[in-house]
A = this chain, B = another copy of it.
Amino acid sequence: MPLVTIRLANRDIPTTSAQKAALIAGTTRLMQEVLDKKPETVTVIIDEIDPDNWGVGGEQVTVVRQRSKGPTQA
């Protein structure tokens, strides 16, 4: 019955369907190994969030990422 929600801030290169499949498979396997849950009872939901809507350290992730790229690559 475990329910796992994964929230991610979107990047320039979107998360691929293969990566989502790997997150779902890996999380389900973990529930099986650690808690002995049957895979068919595990639900995983991935929420992709606009980096404009995600804040860390009081700033939008969009802003944090731009600064970390530096002036030459911007």
Interface residues of A (CB under 8 A from B): 1-9, 15, 17, 19-30, 33-35, 39-40, 42-49, 52-63
Contacts and interface: CB of A to CB of B under 8 A. Distances in A.
Contacts of A15: 35
B54 A1 contact: yes
Nearest to A21: B60
Contact of A24 (B29, B39, B55): B55
B6 A4 contact: yes
A46 B57 CA distance: 15
Contacts of A39: 57-58
Nearest to A22: B34
A60 B49 CA distance: 19
